[in-house]
């Protein structure tokens, strides 16, 4: 299965996890249909003529991780300021470089 097919099939699995009746989902679906029709950009397109995607397309990306990495409260509470009575907001950034590259590439394609 090539990367395009993997992304399209992964979107179908993604739809099971999200609210399919939202405006955002309509935008995602429209972007996916556009991607299905056009595929990845090639050097024939002016904006991509100096950019080769071959190195990215050769990789075997895992769109959904095989296991969930759950963070427990005990792991983050040591970073809280305990003497201040406030709401606590925790941002967890866990991703691989490959996923980051894929996200940047797909964002630029669908915008």
CA distance 108 to 40: 11
pLDDT at 69: 64
CA distance 107 to 90: 25
pLDDT at 84: 77
Residue by residue, DSSP assigns 29-90 as HHHHHHHHHH-S--TTSGGGTT---HHHHHS---SS-SS-----HHHHGGGS-TTS------
Q: Domain residue spans in the chain?
A: 3-110
CA distance to 71, 80, 110, per residue, from 91 (Å)? 11, 13, 26
CA distance 107 to 110: 5
pLDDT at 76: 77
pLDDT at 34: 92
The one-digit pLDDT tens for each residue of the chain (111 residues) are: 788 888 888 888 888 888 888 888 889 899 999 999 998 898 898 998 998 888 888 877 766 655 566 677 788 778 777 777 777 777 766 554 444 444 544 454 444
Q: pTM to 2 decimals?
A: 0.52
CA distance 75 to 16: 30
């Amino acid at each position: 299965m090539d990367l395009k097919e993997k992304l399209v099939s992964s979107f179908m699995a993604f739809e099971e996890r999200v609210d399919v009746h939202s405006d955002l989902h309509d935008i995602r679906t429209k972007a996916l249909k556009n991607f299905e029709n056009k595929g990845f950009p090639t050097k024939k397109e002016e904006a991509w003529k100096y950019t080769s995607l071959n190195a990215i397309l050769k990789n075997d990306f895992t769109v959904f991780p095989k296991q969930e990495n759950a963070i427990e409260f005990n792991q983050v509470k040591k970073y809280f300021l305990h003497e201040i009575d406030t709401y606590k907001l925790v941002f967890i950034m866990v991703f691989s470089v490959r996923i980051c590259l894929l996200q940047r590439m797909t964002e630029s394609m669908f915008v």
